Structure 1
Amino acid sequence: MSGVQDDEEAMAAAWGDALAAGQPESPDGAVADAARELNQAEIDSLLGFDDGPGVADERSGIQRIISSGLVSYERLPMLEIVFDRLVRIMSTSLRNFTSDNVEVSIDGIVSLRFGDYLNSVPLPAMLAVFKADRWDNYGLLVVDSALIYSVVDVLLGGRRGTAAMRIEGRPYTTIERTLVERLIHVVLADLTAAFEPLSPVTFEFERLEVNPRFAAISRLGNATVLAKLRVDMEDRGGRIDLLLPYATLEPVRELLLQQFMGEKFGRDRIWETHLAEELRHTQVTLDVVLDEQTLPLSGVTGLRPGDRIALGAAPGAPVRLRCGEVALFEGQLGRRGNNLAVRIERELSRSQEEG
């Protein structure tokens, strides 16, 4: 009995030595490191949070699985063109608004969940909720604190070359909210103009919030498109985040899927004008139908020169004008000089033509 216990203790000691030495297999072939605990680096790699050099753009693990459920904005190529147009329009309108040298650029366009963005909003900030009138849905415009103080400083006559003074630990004043609201109205007007060639829509300002919880315009798990705009006013400036849920863009999804567009989004005015002018000069042949009869084939083959076919139309009965097989007009037959003439009385609709 004691010999059996000695053998078991010896086997347990051998297994312990194998685990300590990093041997891959135990005496019976089982994997020895099955009970080994993962360290923090391995856990981060599994979850996809490895921020080491050279892997910034590579995602793995659970994070990659979650992100695969989102729709990438690159599937809507026309949306990027709209945002580029927005940047050009904003650069001009903000120069007129601030009477200063303003440059607007796009820092990036990403797709993410609405809840993830609300949790990452840098506070303090102002969140403007706006409505897309014809699309019957909402969007979000976020102005960070750096741009808020810069706009207030510029509009109130602050000196150039000095950074805007930022006061921590206090809410925004009524003057600051009013000035930022004017800025938001300018941006929304530019956004309306950017979408105008694609689809007529009006973005209307609804309310201004400072707490992200009160700016919930969509469910937390819904996918959204985030455009990060950078506004530079010499040594001052900040950032504007434009957030559009995919539900808001759904009415124009087919238009946003288009790959290539011109200045007029695919319409060629020169070709349209040329085609219209050529159609007006096109010659067509019109046939005046006095009467129609159905005859047997034997009666048609039995016709000889000099035979007469009696028409069923009474004198003064209306006649039809046809172009091929399509009846176009109805009129009266008459004479003008030595020629027969037809005076058009009315135009035939499709239902009348079939009747």
Structure 2
Amino acid sequence: MSTEEEDLAAAWGASLEGEGDEEAAPGGADSTRVLNQAEIDSLLGFDGEETAEAKSAIEQIISSGLVSYERLPMLEIVFDRLVRLMSTTLRNFTSDNVEVSIDAITSLRFGDYLNSIPLPAMLAVTKVHEWDNYGLMVVDSAMIYSVVDVLLGGRRGTAAMRIEGRPYTTIERTLVERLIGVVLRDVSTAFEPLCPVEFQFERLEVNPRFAAISRLSNACILVKLRVEMEDRGGRMDLLLPYATLEPVRELLLQQFMGEKFGRDSIWENHLADELRHTEVALDVVLDEQPLPLSTVVNLKPGDRITLNVGPGAPVRLRCGEVPLFEAVLGRRENRLAVRIERELKRLGLEEEVA
């Protein structure tokens, strides 16, 4: 038993003795002691820190179903590039000192994220035509009012006015759409070194149920971006389902830009040079004809096999079982020779063989 548990047991014993004394005393009032959360956790055997061993089997199975973003190393490079681009473009967009940073990059279920969005917020659905799928960008309330305040000439040093409990006006939605358009262009530019892609703004929603772009159980990558404009700012979330990133999954698996997955150009050139100097045997095929096995078994020295080709008929040059050329048989000095007439195309190989 640990020291904390011994102290806790001693305290409980002292309180029980005090209760017994009060009940024994005439006119003593009933006392009830309420345990706090730390005492309850200690009593139930929880130490307040959840470890991998403490997780149940079901929790481990569910968590293992999520693909960690760390398995896609190139994503971090893309998002770092996005932060640098956004810092520059938002400074030009707001004419203010803007600092953009990444709060977290996590993998989670789409349904879990929808349920955790702090409302009110604006949810922008974006279409990625090259990947034939969708993404989601969420702008929280603090960022919305900060952008409206900055773009409409709000004075520095004053917090943005927030009026809770009312829908967003047309002006606020228009200004936020402009902000989202600027950020989506930066997202497209951040992915450009990997592949040309364009994130297009499709619609703006305020209800998370109307911004469902994937099944609730599908895994997604969530990037939480914090935008600070001196005493104002807020947060923007970029959500990309794994189904959206699937067309460029091989590119995102790279450790660095331009990785060729183990290919070595030096060894490729060396292997190509050695293959060019390799000797191969070419067979000149005069004729091919099927014979019964009984005929082949009964063949004796002196027997003749009649070829079904006439004099001057074209012959074939073959390497193993692969026909390569068609040639004409002739004689050069005292040796038989062939003159190549044409190359047999690989696409029409079956027709040529037939």
TM over 0.5: yes
Would the aligned equivalents of 2:85 and 2:186 in 1 still touch at CA under 8 Å?
no
After superposition, the Cα gap between the structure-2 partners of 1:187 and 1:144, relative to the gap in structure 1 and judged at 3 Å, is same
Deviation at 1:127, TM superposition (A): 0.8
Alpha-carbon separation, structure 2, partners of 1:234 and 1:335: 92
Deviation at 1:282, TM superposition (A): 1.9
Structure 1 residue matching 2:176: 3-state secondary structure: helix
After superposition, the Cα gap between the structure-2 partners of 1:343 and 1:139, relative to the gap in structure 1 and judged at 3 Å, is same
> 1:318 aligned to 2:314?
yes
Residue in 2 that maps onto 1:262: 256
Deviation at 1:144, TM superposition (A): 1.8
Alpha-carbon separation, structure 2, partners of 1:179 and 1:334: 85
Would the aligned equivalents of 1:331 and 1:342 in 2 still touch at CA under 8 Å?
yes
Structure 2 unpaired stretches of 5+: 1-14, 19-31
> 1:118 aligned to 2:117?
no
How do 1:183-222 residues align onto structure 2 when only pairs under 5 Å count? 183-192=179-188, 194=190, 203-220=199-216
After superposition, the Cα gap between the structure-2 partners of 1:221 and 1:272, relative to the gap in structure 1 and judged at 3 Å, is same
Alpha-carbon separation, structure 2, partners of 1:154 and 1:116: 32
TM-score normalised by structure 1 residue count: 0.63
Residue in 1 that maps onto 2:77: 84
How do 1:293-304 residues align onto structure 2 when only pairs under 5 Å count? 296=296, 302=301
Among 254, 265, 273, the alignment partner of 1:271 is: 265
Deviation at 1:344, TM superposition (A): 0.7
RMSD, matched Cα: 5.1
Residue in 2 that maps onto 1:166: 161
How do 1:275-286 residues align onto structure 2 when only pairs under 5 Å count? 275=269, 278=272, 282-283=276-277, 285=280, 286=282
> 1:347 aligned to 2:345?
yes
CA deviation map 1:13-40 (0-9, x unaligned): xxxxxx9569xxxxxxxxxxxxx99956
Structure 2 residue matching 1:166: 3-state secondary structure: coil
Would the aligned equivalents of 2:327 and 2:340 in 1 still touch at CA under 8 Å?
yes
Alpha-carbon separation, structure 2, partners of 1:70 and 1:41: 27
Structure 1 unpaired stretches of 5+: 1-18, 23-35
Alpha-carbon separation, structure 1, partners of 2:242 and 2:33: 42
In structure 2, give the amino acid aligned to 1:148.
Answer: I
Alpha-carbon separation, structure 2, partners of 1:101 and 1:268: 44
Structure 1 residue matching 2:37: 3-state secondary structure: helix
How do 1:96-175 residues align onto structure 2 when only pairs under 5 Å count? 96=89, 98-99=91-92, 102-133=98-129, 136-152=132-148, 162=157, 165-169=160-164, 170-175=166-171
Would the aligned equivalents of 2:128 and 2:134 in 1 still touch at CA under 8 Å?
yes
Structure 2 residue matching 1:347: 3-state secondary structure: coil
Alpha-carbon separation, structure 1, partners of 2:331 and 2:181: 69
Residue in 1 that maps onto 2:176: 180
Deviation at 1:92, TM superposition (A): 2.0
In structure 1, give the amino acid aligned to 2:101.
Answer: S
Alpha-carbon separation, structure 1, partners of 2:201 and 2:150: 23
Structure 1 residue matching 2:62: 3-state secondary structure: coil
TM-score normalised by structure 2 residue count: 0.63
Alpha-carbon separation, structure 2, partners of 1:309 and 1:221: 73
